[in-house]
Structure 1
Amino acid sequence: MSAHPPFEPLNGPEGQPTPVLRHGDTVLRPAGPWTPAVHALLVHLENVGFAGSPRVVGDGYDGRGHEVVTYIDGDFVHPHAWSDEGVWRVGRLLRDLHDATAGFRPPPDATWHPWPFHSDAPDAIISHRDLGPWNIVARDGLPVAFIDWPTAGPTDRLDEIAGAAWLNAQLHDDDVAERQNLPDAAARAGQLRRFLDGYGLAAGERRTLVTRMIEYAVRDCAAEAVAVPVTPESTDPAPLWALAWRARSAAWMLRHRPLLERAIT
């Protein structure tokens, strides 16, 4: 029997196959032009004591075109709801991340993943940029780390808060909520507030947050349609559903805007 651990494929959030592999205590994925900048960010996070991200292993590469980072053990709450404490801690973990990246200076030649929420504004932050619950490892139902960092890069701080708040408070259309056994609209609005309380978002910044969440969902839906891509000939239900739940979520937030705004202000 071999003493070496097997290479185990890791699936995406909906069970779809990916090129990512687990090998013992490490994760391997195809490296890209953005990998050196992402590794510089991960090394910075380790150096400043942020515990909620994987570590770069060795020089970060396996010699066969893969990056190598540590595997973070745990499970996922997705597709179900966080507990009230859990969603508060997601907000807190995001604030800790933003505080930790504040002192990061990217390499002069940094290349970042071409991501729809990229920002070149002077006040842009460097962060994860894809913080749905499928990228948050939990233990005992509480978040401990953010994973899947290839899309990290410069972004608008409030955009990242809006996207993470929308997805982790599970502000989905009613039948999606029923399918995933999510709480009712009022309870999810309460979870939105708890997320923002965990982050410590100021009152003045909360006033525009619902609008930002709606805009984020629309932009995310459009970006997904381009990335797949979806055309008039598309018949695969998986990418079509990815667009449908995003678009319907944006419409749900529009319908429930008064409820959401009351909850967070």
Structure 2
Amino acid sequence: MTRHTPKALQGGRDGVIFRKQNTVIRPMNPWSHTVHLLLTHLHSQGFHQCPAVVGIDESNEVLSYLEGDTFNYPLRGAIATEEALFSAARLLRQLHDASTTFLSAYPDFSCQWMLPGRTPPEVICHGDFTPYNVVLKGNKVVGIFDFDTAHPAPRLWDLAYSIYCWAPFKTHKNDKMGNLQDQIQRALCFCDGYGADLQQRSQLVETMIIRLQALVDFMQAEADSGNPQFQAHIAEGHHLSYLDDIVYLQRNQHAITLGIDPHS
């Protein structure tokens, strides 16, 4: 009999996430049961581009493995193409649409999420729909994983952070890509792929800024509460990049808003 040894997967938590054949083994979290319900619900709605719940193994969750290529910053190759950008936006829209009935499907269930919900709860946001949390086949984004940060919120809350990460409106030398005009064109492409309406586009940059400040506040609160992972992030200055990006967005808010308006 052939024995399959789990293989560690590279990512934000090296050494604790493993692949074993066609499954991924990840540590359970307090919100994992809610996420499992969400993943099962998404599949029941015909959205199969996310992991399926296989089971629970001791203190770990076992999810199906999504086949495809993965990437990280700096964005180069297939992940940087317009096809990847547009298909990512379409996938986010499909995810949101499939999630709209989740809360009504579990009206009596006390959902626990990693991140606090926002009102109105139009959809279940992924919370971290970034280039490093998707899989590609060729230049097309075909799947999304790591739903730990999922939480109910308006569509724009997820859309804003996603475009911030995909444009990307980042200033760190490892994360930035192109100049401001390049970033605006990528943001416009993402808006078009998602089908963002005029109100969402007009409020996009303001929401990005609020979303990034909320992220910094969350990181600091977690560090202050003794979370070693976030204490390390604060000590390494990860939050400072987000603060720099807030200034960048504030300085260029008018140009970005004008550039993503389809009638401008």
Report the TM range for the smaller structure's normalisation: 0.7 to 0.9
Mark the CA change 1:40 to 1:188 in structure 2 (over 3 Å): closer, same or farther: same
1:230 to partner: Cα distance: 10
Confirm or deny: 8 A CA contact 2:51 2:66 kept in the other structure. Answer: yes
Shift >4 Å, 4+ stretches = 234-239
- 2:10 corresponding residue in structure 1: 11
Q: Which moved more, 1:142-151 or 1:122-131?
A: 122-131
- 1:245 corresponding residue in structure 2: 241
Q: Does 1:215 align with 2:210?
A: yes
Secondary structure at the aligned position of 1:166 is classed as helix
Secondary structure at the aligned position of 1:88 is classed as helix
What are the residue-to-residue correspondences of 1:130-149 with 2, within 5 Å? 130-149=128-147
Secondary structure at the aligned position of 1:154 is classed as strand
Mark the CA change 1:199 to 1:263 in structure 2 (over 3 Å): closer, same or farther: same
Residue-pair matches, total: 252
- 2:41 corresponding residue in structure 1: 44
- 2:109 corresponding residue in structure 1: 109
Confirm or deny: 8 A CA contact 1:218 1:247 kept in the other structure. Answer: yes
Mark the CA change 1:47 to 1:220 in structure 2 (over 3 Å): closer, same or farther: same
Q: Which moved more, 1:162-171 or 1:236-245?
A: 236-245
What are the residue-to-residue correspondences of 1:132-171 with 2, within 5 Å? 132-171=130-169
**Cα distance between partner residues in 2 of 1:149 and 1:155:** 14
Unaligned runs of 5+ in 1: none
1:83 to partner: Cα distance: 1.4
Q: AA paired with 1:264? A: I
Q: Does 1:86 align with 2:84?
A: yes
Q: AA paired with 1:39? A: H
**Cα distance between partner residues in 1 of 2:31 and 2:187:** 32
- 1:33 corresponding residue in structure 2: 30
- 1:190 corresponding residue in structure 2: 185
TM-score by length of 1: 0.85
1:223 to partner: Cα distance: 1.5
Percentage of identical aligned residues = 27
Unaligned runs of 5+ in 2: none
Question: Which structure has more RCO (C-alpha within 8 Å, separation ≥ 6)?
Answer: 1
**Cα distance between partner residues in 2 of 1:257 and 1:89:** 25
Q: Which moved more, 1:139-148 or 1:234-243?
A: 234-243
TM-score by length of 2: 0.86
Q: Which moved more, 1:255-264 or 1:77-86?
A: 77-86
Mark the CA change 1:230 to 1:142 in structure 2 (over 3 Å): closer, same or farther: farther
Mark the CA change 1:230 to 1:153 in structure 2 (over 3 Å): closer, same or farther: closer
